[in-house]
Amino acid sequence: MRLALYQPDIPQNTGAVLRLAACMGIGADIIEPCGFVWSDRHLRRAGMDYLDRVMLKRHESWPAFLQGRAGSGRLVLLTTRGSIAHTEFAFRADDTLLLGRESAGVPDDVHAAADARIRVPLAAGARSLNVAMAAAMVLAEALRQCGGYPPVE
C-alpha cells in the first residue's frame, strides 16, 4: 500500500503524511510541483526524524507518476466528490491512496484517472478534513481491512 500526494502545497501536512507513511511501513509518492521548497523547515519539523525512514518516490509531474505506476495496483482517490464512504470500500494491499492539494484537490483529468473515488463521511455543513487527517483515517481503515499494520513489538 502507498500514499500519494498530488502537488502538495502545505509543508506541515506533507511532513505529517510522510511521517505517517514511515511509521506504518508503507511507501509514499510526491507528485510535483510542490507549492513549497522541498527543504522547508516546516516540512522537516512535521516529519521530525522520520523523513529519512520513509520509502519515498518523488515524481516530477502527473504523467511521470502514471508512467512509474505501470503494473501497480489501483489508484484510490480521496475526494469530497467520492461516491462511497471509505468504511464501505473494499481495499486491497496494493492500493495507492491519492490525496489532492489542500487548496484545490485534483483537476478533472486526475479525478478521471482514479480507479475509485472515496470520501470520509462528515457531519452536515462540514466541507472537508485536513489532508493529513484524512490520510490517517483512510489508511487506518485500509490497513485494518488488509491486515497490513506493523506487528506490535
Buried b (16+ CB within 10 A) or exposed e, 46-61: bbeebbeebeeeebee
pLDDT in tens, 16-52: 999 999 999 999 999 999 987 777 576 666 656 778 8
pLDDT in tens, 3-21: 999 999 998 899 999 999 9
The rounded percent of the chain whose pLDDT value lies above 90 is 74
Phi, psi (degrees; rounded to nearest 5) at 82: -65, 150
Per-residue pLDDT at 152:
84
**Whole-angstrom distance, CA of residue 105 vs CA of residue 39:** 23
* DSSP helix/strand/coil, 10: coil
In the block, which residue shows the cell 467520492? Answer: 82
Whole-model pTM?
0.93
Class of domain 2-146: alpha beta
